[in-house]
Amino acid sequence: MAKTTTSYTCTACGASFTKWSGRCDGCSEWNTIQEDAGLSASPGKGLGAKRGSTVTLTDLSAEETPPPRTRSTMDELDRVLGGGLVPASAILVGGDPGIGKSTLLLQAAARFGQAGLKTIYVSGEEASAQVRMRAQRLGLGDAPVKLAADTNLRNILTTLEQEAPGLAIIDSIQTMWLDTVDSAPGSVSQVRAAAHELTTFAKRKGISVVLVGHVTKEGQIAGPRVVEHMVDTVLYFEGERGHQFRILRAVKNRFGPADEIGVFEMTGAGLAEVTNPSALFLSERGQPSPGSVVFAGIEGTRPVLCELQALVAPSPHSQPRRTVVGWDGGRLAMILAVLEARCGIPFNGMDVYLNVAGGMKINEPAADLAVAAALLSAREDAALPPDTVVFGEISLSGALRPTPQTENRLKEAQKLGFTSAIAPKGGKAGGVSGMALQQMADLTGFVGEVFGAG
């Protein structure tokens, strides 16, 4: 039989007793001692009758000063972080192998160190000599950054507690291991436990921690998704191996806007910031050709223009190919179905290829109309005017839905020399003068007016 313990509490002073009495020994009041019902009535290992400390409660109207931020002077990185590095925050950075995560974080560590923040870079995949060689190649040999090469989390946390840095970079979380967990480094148990220890340590000691995470074949951070829930910010470092462009994207940020991007260019001296990504993504655009359309998109808070390229060709196979790079393949199938059902334009028997030039990845529904324009341009072998941008969301009924921030899209296009735009009706485009705007109500009207068919 399990032994049950009954406790008693004084309602006047809160003193606890193991047995009832008529008078409280703490405050000398009579008939104030009552049996404690306990916090938990669940069977097994519940909370029992023991109470904890009272949590401080505040009102929703209470004003708190925003947390202080340390800027790295890398404007693209600071933009993605929401304005700078927040103390006692945990950041997870993921990306494909060899994409440049270590290069980016070493440059960021040097910048934060030069800004006066004590920084420690812990590498679990490379020796300290290899990190020094990379730093010398990037011209950061004199940066005030401390290096360490270890994978034992107990040793790492002991060192961080003794040194008390402002920023600690762990490269990578899959190489860390706890001696209390009986599994190999990189396993789900080790990754979960290491991420939890590092995150709670950062909150207790006021140290900002950056964790590097490997990604799977599907592009998700390897290990349990609980790691992404534990940290404050999740950043993905994206890019194609054949392109020099790299995009740092925030998919979660408790201290700033999500879906914000920072654009970098991989050079021989490391990653260089790109202040005008629209001009960079359109720099390789040649003469206008069928299937090429410029899309005016919004990434986070900034407008970005990029080129969509489509190719439609007769298929020698019984099942035509549908190949997409940089966009959602399911959404391409939806656009093809709407074009056939609402506009009477079939694509059966044809291979369809769609590519977002420059290694950019688009998740915005506003790219629907630009994709449809690229497909129709490639199918009809008719190029759109070179000074035209296209954006708009397509519904299953064939109607065009207005997109947010129409004015910002048009201003960015006008800045780069575009003089006309095709967009859905209903978008707020006030304040943009000198821009010829064609507003369409549905996809059928767009096909008829732009390509002379319907």
Contacts of residues 213-218 at CB distance under 8 Å and 24 or more positions apart, as own/partner, are: 213/92, 213/93, 213/94, 213/172, 213/173, 213/174, 214/94, 214/97, 214/172, 214/174, 215/94, 215/95, 215/96
pLDDT of amino acid 7: 77
Q: Interior CA angle at 264 toward 288 and 191, to 5°?
A: 125
Partners of residue 164 on adjacent β-strands: none
Query: Given CA atoms 38, 40, 41, 46 in this order, what sign does their dihedral have?
Result: negative
Q: Interior CA angle at 63 toward 61 and 65, to 5°?
A: 160
Quick: pLDDT tens for 109-129: 999 999 999 999 999 999 999
Q: State the pLDDT confidence band at 409, using cuts at 50, 70 and 90.
A: very high
Q: State the pLDDT confidence band at 44, using cuts at 50, 70 and 90.
A: low
Contact call for residues 288 and 395 (beta carbons, < 8 A) = no
Q: Rounded mean pLDDT of 354-359?
A: 88
Q: Is the pLDDT of residue 76 over 70?
A: yes
Average pLDDT value over all residues in the chain = 88
Q: State the pLDDT confidence band at 1, using cuts at 50, 70 and 90.
A: very low
Do you find a cis peptide bond into 172, omega within 30 degrees of 0? Answer: yes
d(CA 328, CA 362): 8
Burial 3-17 (b: 16+ CB within 10 A, else e): eeeebbbbeeeeeee
For residue 271, which of 252, 292, 289, 246 has the smallest C-alpha distance?
Answer: 246
The CA distances from residue 249 to 200, 237, 363, in Å, are: 25, 6, 12
Q: Rounded mean pLDDT of 75-81?
A: 94
Q: Is the pLDDT of residue 437 over 50?
A: yes
- Which carries the bigger pLDDT value, residue 333 or residue 430? 333
Q: Is the pLDDT of residue 439 over 70?
A: yes
d(CA 353, CA 254): 38
For residue 91, which of 250, 222, 262, 263 has the smallest C-alpha distance?
Answer: 250
pLDDT of amino acid 4: 54
Q: Rounded mean pLDDT of 98-105?
A: 91
pLDDT of amino acid 394: 96
- Which carries the bigger pLDDT value, residue 155 or residue 172? 155
Quote the percentage of the chain above a pLDDT of 90: 59
CA 393 to chain centroid, in Å, comes to: 23
Q: State the pLDDT confidence band at 196, using cuts at 50, 70 and 90.
A: very high
Contacts of residues 434-439 at CB distance under 8 Å and 24 or more positions apart, as own/partner, are: 435/410, 437/410
Which two three-digit tokens encode residue 26?
């703490």
pLDDT of amino acid 350: 94
**Is residue 2 classed exposed, middle or buried when 0-12, 13-18 and 19+ CB atoms within 10 A define those classes?**
exposed
The CA distances from residue 184 to 122, 177, 179, 188, in Å, are: 20, 8, 10, 9
Phi, psi of 282 (to 5 degrees): -100, 0
pLDDT of amino acid 98: 85
Phi, psi of 63 (to 5 degrees): -100, 130
Q: Is 120 helix (H, G, I), strand (E, B) or coil?
A: strand
Q: Is the pLDDT of residue 212 over 90?
A: yes
d(CA 410, CA 408): 5
**Token pair 């400390």: residue:** 53
Which two three-digit tokens encode residue 181?
């967990």
pLDDT of amino acid 427: 78
Furthest C-alpha separation in the chain: 96
Contact call for residues 372 and 339 (beta carbons, < 8 A) = yes
- Which carries the bigger pLDDT value, residue 141 or residue 224? 141
pLDDT of amino acid 8: 84
Q: Is the pLDDT of residue 216 over 80?
A: no
Q: State the pLDDT confidence band at 103, using cuts at 50, 70 and 90.
A: very high
Which two three-digit tokens encode residue 335?
């656009």
Q: Rounded mean pLDDT of 143-168?
A: 95
d(CA 446, CA 454): 9
Q: Is the pLDDT of residue 41 over 70?
A: no
pLDDT of amino acid 163: 95
Contact call for residues 310 and 291 (beta carbons, < 8 A) = yes
Q: Is the pLDDT of residue 330 over 60?
A: yes
Q: Rounded mean pLDDT of 49-61?
A: 78
Contact call for residues 386 and 342 (beta carbons, < 8 A) = no
H-only helix segments in 93-187: 101-114, 128-137, 153-163
Partners of residue 23 on adjacent β-strands: 30
d(CA 260, CA 250): 5
Enumerate residues 6+ apart whose C-beta is below 8 A from 75.
Answer: 273, 275
